[in-house]
């Protein structure tokens, strides 16, 4: 996930600059984007500043060093992990036992250091000579993925992945990062986790077929992962394209009949082609001291699994979501901002794009922004309809996508939700409690963080006024940062980031957040 800062000089120092602002004009800061290995990572202490008056506060901030640069991760931050959101203190509290006191186990300078480095992606503004992050993501490596064929699934749920079924080589061992959900099993199979901070998503099916249908690892066997949900073809091998139900959704996707149950997952099988992402975990053996495996937080199989037309449950997932951040221009600063104010061919800061897939191509998919500025109650957000999208009528069946340029979708939100029409009986009214199937996963809708924000950019290289540097990131328009945000397990007043990674505009200046 990739998302995109301050020297507050007195106006008197700006007189000599061409196009200098007046004393009343805001002074734009400079943005930054750091992506690199986490060298240091620690919770803040009182000496770091008044924003860390209580280092034991559950919402306390942190200090991180990446690429040799020290960055403030402000109080009230939520870090985007591969399958969850965590506050900085959560990351330290949930560390592995091997990590030293006061350490996360993710930084190269920890003792002991992690077996493999971890990466941070930080976007923020430089304020008063400080790097202050607004958006923070932690992963082992950006876009760390691999693909191959399942050659075997062991009795304890480990998948052996190789280049081809008839090739004896095994390229990697893969286990789902799937902690116990309180039933003795994981969400998608055997309960196992190398590090729960990097677990698979527990509400959305991040282990799925290409159409979004949730998948499971069949060993050890569980009622939620029935073999009957993976029918065989005439050759006796598991089908790779079919409809779960009694009526085929498409002519070339035969129905598997009454033995199948759309409320249950579909088991993975040997010879499925899968793409997976996760963390590399070192696990020495007697024969190989450097042995390792992937603890996967997400997996997609090249399977065309559909559900019956117009019937529930049906499933959907979001592959990509991108939002422009809008932004208000600074006086005398030549920057992109707003519809009609951009040069053709440039990235538009009002752009909106989504790509996803559904198991029921016969129904439109509604796309919502989840506004954090007016939560209805704890963990409930105001849904704002952005678009209703019709799945494409030609291959790949089940895909829906839309790119809209010259419209304002303000304010940019932390999360986007896709919902199949008819899941609720009404396409725009959120349920009191989302319907669930497939071992507790929400069906018919998928909620995901925005994968990328487009922030304003300058039109003329080297011409930022009154100070040199990059155009600031307009975090004041990201209401979940400037006003506060909470995931569903929080029950406290909303609070903005502190210290604030200001752009030069006042934190409360955005009319979209009022």
Render the burial of 451-486: b for 16+ CB within 10 Å, e for the rest: bebbbbbbeeeeebbbbebbbbbbbbbbbbbbbbbb
Three-state DSSP state, 115: coil
Three-state DSSP state, 415: strand
H/E stretch holding 168 = none
DSSP 70-106: EEEE-BT--EE-SSSEE-HHHHHHT--TTSPTT--S-
CA quadruple 33, 38, 40, 44: dihedral, nearest 10: 60
Q: How far apart are CA 188 and CA 264, in angstroms?
A: 11
Q: How far apart are CA 55 and CA 133, in angstroms?
A: 18
Instruction: Tell me which of 3.30.110, 2.60.40, 3.40.1350, 1.20.1250 is the CATH number of domain 316-454.
Output: 2.60.40
Structure-token pair, residue 300: 């997609």
Residue 457: what pLDDT? 82
Q: Which residue has the higher pLDDT, 467 or 321?
A: 321
Residue 406: what pLDDT? 58
Q: How far apart are CA 440 and CA 434, in angstroms?
A: 10
Residue 81: what pLDDT? 95
What is the pTM for the complete model shown? 0.88
Q: List residues bridging with 304 in a β-sheet.
A: 241
CB 193 within 8 A of CB 179: yes
The pLDDT of 14-31, averaged and rounded, is 58
Q: How far apart are CA 69 and CA 130, in angstroms?
A: 10
Kindly report which listed range (134-143, 362-371, 378-387, 408-417) carries the lowest average pLDDT score: 378-387
Give pLDDT tens digits for 213-238.
999 999 999 999 999 999 999 999 99
Confidence of residue 375 (pLDDT cuts 50, 70, 90): very low
Give pLDDT tens digits for 90-134.
999 999 999 989 999 999 999 999 999 999 999 999 999 999 999
Q: Where are the domains of the chain?
A: 11-141+471-513, 145-307, 316-454
């Amino acid at each position: 996930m990739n998302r995109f800062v301050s020297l507050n000089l007195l106006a008197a120092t700006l007189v000599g600059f061409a196009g200098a602002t007046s004393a009343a004009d805001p002074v734009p800061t400079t943005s930054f984007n750091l992506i690199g290995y986490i060298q240091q990572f620690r919770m803040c202490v009182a000496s770091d500043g008044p924003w860390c008056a209580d280092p034991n506060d559950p919402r306390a901030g942190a200090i991180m060093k990446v690429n040799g640069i020290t960055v403030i991760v402000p109080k009230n931050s939520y870090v985007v992990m591969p399958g969850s959101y965590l506050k900085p203190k959560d990351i330290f509290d949930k560390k592995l036992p091997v990590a030293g006191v006061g350490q996360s186990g993710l930084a190269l300078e920890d003792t002991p250091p992690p077996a493999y480095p971890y990466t941070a992606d930080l976007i923020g503004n430089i304020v008063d000579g400080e790097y202050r992050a607004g958006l923070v993501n932690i992963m082992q490596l950006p876009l760390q993925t691999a693909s191959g064929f399942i050659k075997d699934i062991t009795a304890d749920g480990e998948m052996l992945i190789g280049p081809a079924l008839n090739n004896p080589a095994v390229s990697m061992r893969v286990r789902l990062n799937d902690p116990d959900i309180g039933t003795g099993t994981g969400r998608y199979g055997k309960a196992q986790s190398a590090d729960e901070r990097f677990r698979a998503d527990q509400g959305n099916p991040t282990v799925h077929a290409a159409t979004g249908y949730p998948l499971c690892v069949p060993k050890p066997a569980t009622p939620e992962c029935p073999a009957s949900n993976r029918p065989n073809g005439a050759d006796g091998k598991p089908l790779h394209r079919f409809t779960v139900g009694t009526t085929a959704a498409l002519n070339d996707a035969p129905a598997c009949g009454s033995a199948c149950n759309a409320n249950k997952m579909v088991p993975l099988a040997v010879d499925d082609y899968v793409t997976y992402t996760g963390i590399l975990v070192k696990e020495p053996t007697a024969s190989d001291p450097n042995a390792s495996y992937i603890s996967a937080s997400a997996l997609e199989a090249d399977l065309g699994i559909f559900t019956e037309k117009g019937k529930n449950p049906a499933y959907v997932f979001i592959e990509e979501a991108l939002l422009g951040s809008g932004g208000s221009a600074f006086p005398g600063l030549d920057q992109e901002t707003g519809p009609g104010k951009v040069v053709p061919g440039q990235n538009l800061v009002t752009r909106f794009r989504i790509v996803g897939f559904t198991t029921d191509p016969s129904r439109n998919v509604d796309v919502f922004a989840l506004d954090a500025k007016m939560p209805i109650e704890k963990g409930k957000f105001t849904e704002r309809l952005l678009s209703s999208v019709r799945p494409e009528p030609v291959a790949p069946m089940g895909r829906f996508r839309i790119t809209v340029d010259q419209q304002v979708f303000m304010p940019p939100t932390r999360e986007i939700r896709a919902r199949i029409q008819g899941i609720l009986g009404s396409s725009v009214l959120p349920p009191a409690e989302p319907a669930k199937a497939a071992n507790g996963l929400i069906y018919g809708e998928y909620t995901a963080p925005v994968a990328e924000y487009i922030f304003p950019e300058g039109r003329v290289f080297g011409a930022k006024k009154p100070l040199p540097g990059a155009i600031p990131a307009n975090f004041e328009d990201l209401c979940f940062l400037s006003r506060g945000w909470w995931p569903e397990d929080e029950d406290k007043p909303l609070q903005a980031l502190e210290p604030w990674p200001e752009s030069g505009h006042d934190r409360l200046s955005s009319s979209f957040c009022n």
